Structure 1
Amino acid sequence: MVMLPPNVVLEPLFREWLREDIGRGDRATGAITANNNPVQEAVWMTKQAGVIAGLPFAEKIFSLLGKIDWQPQVTEGSFCENQVKLLRCRAGTDTLLTGERVALNLVMHLSGIATLTHHYAEKIADLPTQLVDTRKTTPGLRLLEKYATQVGGAMNHRFGLDDAAMIKENHIQAAGGITSAIAQLRSNLPYPLTIEVETTNATEVEEAIASNVDIIMLDNMALPLIREMVDLIKKKNSAIKVEASGNINLNTIREIAETGVDYISTSAPITQASWLDLSMTLV
């Protein structure tokens, strides 16, 4: 089960999004509910098949506007076909109409990410390789987008620069090499953060092995070289984890996983996901 982020983190985000949408007031809703604001029921439906992510967040968004009776008809993370009833909810007319767009936008966005992640994870479900996401996220939405990749079947890579130390190409260039970069890092790294090094060729892999790092990323390597590097790393230091990245898509992910890498990281489930079409209708 994927852990929901705490309310103390979520609520400021949701309040800001509602403020952005409502502005100085919901003109249409305010007019029709000024003298009569009855409790009404609404139904959410899928308009295409996909994995559902974000329903608990939608409930929290509506609850900031008024009391709501929230009755999900499916479990978070379920794969639903087209025209499936996701939930029924009852609230004041103003609460339902004012919160509709923000709530739907978020759930459609997160469900799109969860759906594409699911398709990637499904390709390697019978293999030990773990699919992981990246930091290529929408500014301000990382927490929720990474939640959606978990719902879809991926593991979260680091959330931020302070979660772990990843030495990338520009770090190596700036420090004068992998060995120098790692030496400088180790003198300042808090315990127990891990060190990962991005490599693009066999020479860099050898240097990373000699530096006894925790994870070696094989970045944009051809398939034969990935196989060779996995064998080399496991032979010289089986404690080092191996991650493949670059040129990962639905057509290539399985053959890359079959090389024996421990992790495959890709930004695609977030950066290439389309929103999943959903609707809310008063009944």
Structure 2
Amino acid sequence: MPLTPLPRLMVEPIVRAALLEDLGRAGDVTTESVIAADATLSAVIATRQPGVIAGTDCAVIAFDLMQPGISVVVERPDGSAVSPGDVVLRVQGNARAILSAERVALNLLCHLSGVATATANLVQAVQPHKARIIDTRKTTPGLRALEKRAVRAGGGDNHRFGLDDAVLIKDNHIAAAGSITAAVARARAHVGHMVKVECEVDTLDQLHEALAAGVDVVLLDNMTPAQLKDAVAIVAGRAVTEASGRVTAATAGAIAASGVDLISCGWITHSAPILDLGLDIG
């Protein structure tokens, strides 16, 4: 299924803020002193390592904001698997504008492609099991929409986008409410019928309590693959099962083999290594 782009209305303010941060109070003094105002150039953004691309819309907008009319051709759209040397974007136009936008375009493109690549590696690791890789709210402040879309570019899926679109009762909520039963009952009484209720559990006893309370999803936190397998058997289809904790490409396969529906991972958004890309003139 083609990856639907985010509306420019959502992306442009993020890119604009990044450009303003980089240009500072005086603009790009290096480029303006070295490059003639009417100089033009052609360049490509190419990959230095294999991975999956995300964030091309950010790069396109960065160049366009510096100077409308710069030609940007996307050769590898978001979600594309790439090898070293593959051309992702071709850029042509005013040299000053291209060089001044270069770092912001690359910062966003490299970071988001890193998120997509990390996600794709986990998606590959859980094959051929049914488990889907999902993200969390552990995102870079201000970049959540971009990072969550990058997860989808890598073949993953999204957990809730914020505090307002689902109930997730965690250990501190349970401690403050007194019990899982009390917390779930209060949540059900507060939210509408369209809002799903998920509860984090650390033990099989807590799992039994959460199921009795009627949750829609159980978050099985930091359980071993053997414990996860037992939990899936106990749930027996009565709720969606989500495993979380200590998820890496090395552990994801065993976690998926337990039969869980979802595997959530925070590091794919907040700590994924960048995918190395660079802008080359010529």
Same structural fold, with TM-score higher than 0.5 when normalized by the shorter chain: yes
Q: Distance in 2 between matches of 1:167 and 1:115?
A: 30
Return the letter of the residue paired with 1:262.
Answer: D
Output the CA distance in 1 between the equivalents of 2:9 and 2:86: 32
Answer yes or no: is 1:91 the counterpart of 2:93. Answer: yes
What CA distance in whole angstroms lies between the structure 2 residues aligned with 1:222 and 1:49?
A: 32
Match of 1:270 in 2: 269
- For 2:193, give the aligned amino acid: Y
Contact 1:249–1:268 at 8 Å: present in 2 too?
no
Total equivalences in the alignment:
279
Asked if residue 46 in structure 1 is aligned to residue 47 in structure 2, the reply is yes
Secondary structure of 2:230's aligned partner: helix
Contact 1:166 1:195 in 2 (8 A): yes
Aligned-pair identity in percent equals: 39
* Rounded Cα–Cα distance in structure 2 between residues aligned with 1:126 and 1:226: 18
8 Å contact from structure 2 (residues 52, 79) kept in 1: yes
Matched AA of 1:38: A
Q: How far did 1:271 drift?
A: 3.2
What displacement does 1:122 show?
0.5
Matches within 5 A, 1:124-163: 124-163=126-165
Deviation string 1:34-70 (CA, Å, 9 cap, x unpaired) is: 5x42332111111111111111220011111111111
Letter in 2 for 1:251: A
Deviation at 1:33, TM superposition (A): 4.3
> Which residue identity lines up with residue 105 of structure 1 in the other structure?
N
- Residue 151 of structure 1: CA displacement? 0.6
Q: Mapping of 1:102-121 within 5 angstroms?
A: 102-121=104-123
CA distance, structure 2, for counterparts of residue 245 and residue 18 of structure 1? 36
Displacement of 1:268 after TM fit?
2.5
Question: 1:108-132 CA distances to partner (integer Å, 9 max, x unpaired)?
Answer: 1111111111110001232211111
Distance 2:77 2:252 in 1: 28
**Contact 2:54-2:78 at 8 Å conserved across structures:** yes
Map residues 12-23 of structure 1 onto 2, 5 A cutoff. Answer: 12-23=13-24
Match in the other structure for 1:282:
281
3-state SS of 1:159 partner: coil
- Whether the aligned pair in 2 keeps the contact of 1:129 and 1:257 (CA below 8 Å) is yes
Deviations 1:166-194 (A, max 9, x none): 00000000000001011111111123010
Which residue identity does 2:42 align to in structure 1? E
| Residues 226 and 10 of structure 1, relative CA distance in 2, 3 Å threshold | same
3-state DSSP of counterpart to 2:66: coil
Aligned-pair distance for 1:85?
Answer: 1.9
Matches within 5 A, 1:166-205: 166-205=168-207
Q: Distance in 1 between matches of 2:127 and 2:157?
A: 13
> Are the counterparts in 1 of residues 14 and 143 from structure 2 also a CA contact under 8 Å?
no
Q: Provide runs of 4+ in structure 1 moved above 4 Å.
A: none
SS in 1 for 2:241: strand
Please report how far the alpha carbon of residue 2 of structure 1 lies from its aligned counterpart in structure 2 after TM superposition: 2.4
TM-score, L = length of structure 1: 0.95
**Is the counterpart of residue 242 in structure 1 residue 247 in structure 2?**
no
Shift of 1:8: 1.5
Cα separation, 1, equivalents of 2:188 and 2:38 = 62
